[in-house]
């Protein structure tokens, strides 16, 4: 099972510090990352994405899944209007697996001009240690899960595996 955690902050600097904390937690084996990014919205309303250059242990399938989930959360706000079968099927599967429209709307509501969010996709997480380490940064936390079966099916759809 993968956890998708979005932590919203009113300040980009705090988000950057939280991002660094998550990287430290990866090195300390508190969290096993499939994806990590900071998403910020500038004063003009434009979205900016900063990711790590490399996350150790991420397979092509989980990398593709991370990219698809990320795109659906942040880059395709009108995803309900998308008619392409591949994207439509993926959105449908995500909606059944916990990344539904309500969750996407909550994520978009976190991101107002001048704000930022740390987005974490983790296959393993030690909740108590993760929470304790992130508490000093504050923020608004949104969390959902993908079951192993849903994650595997989505990854296979994304990579074209049978």
For 76, the 3-state DSSP assignment is coil
For 120, the 3-state DSSP assignment is strand
In this prediction, residues 98-106 reach a mean pLDDT of 75
Is residue 5 a contact partner of residue 123, using CB atoms and an 8 Å limit? no
- Please list the residues that pair with 145 across neighbouring strands: 3
Alpha carbon distance 17, 28 (integer Å): 17
Residue extents of the structural domains in the chain: 2-159
In this prediction, residues 156-161 reach a mean pLDDT of 53
**Residue 2, pLDDT score:** 82
Which DSSP letter does residue 55 get? -
> b or e along 108-126 (b: 16 or more beta carbons within 10 Å of the residue's beta carbon)?
eebbeeebbbbbbbbbebb
Which DSSP letter does residue 97 get? T
For 92, the 3-state DSSP assignment is helix
Q: pLDDT tens-digit profile of 60-99?
A: 555 566 666 666 676 554 444 444 444 455 455 555 555 6
pLDDT band at 155 (very low <50, low <70, confident <90, very high): low
CA separation (Å) from 150 to 53, 112, 134? 26, 31, 28
**For helices 85-96 and 148-159, angle between their N-to-C axes, nearest 10 degrees:** 170
């Amino acid at each position: 099972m993968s956890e998708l955690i979005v932590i919203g902050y009113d300040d980009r600097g705090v988000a950057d510090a939280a991002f660094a904390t998550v990287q430290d937690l990866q090195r300390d084996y508190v969290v096993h990352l499939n994806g990590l990014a900071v998403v910020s919205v500038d004063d003009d309303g434009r979205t900016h994405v900063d990711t790590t250059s490399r996350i150790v242990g991420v397979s092509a399938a989980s990398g593709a899944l991370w990219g698809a989930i990320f795109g659906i959360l942040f880059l395709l706000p009108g995803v309900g209007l998308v008619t392409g079968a591949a994207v439509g099927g993926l959105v449908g599967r995500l909606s059944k697996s916990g990344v539904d429209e309500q969750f996407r709307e909550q994520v978009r509501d976190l991101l107002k001009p001048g704000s930022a969010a740390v987005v974490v996709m983790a296959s393993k997480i030690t909740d108590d240690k993760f929470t304790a380490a992130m508490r000093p940064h504050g923020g608004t936390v949104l969390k959902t899960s993908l079951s192993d079966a849903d994650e595997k099916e989505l990854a296979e759809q994304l990579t074209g595996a049978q």
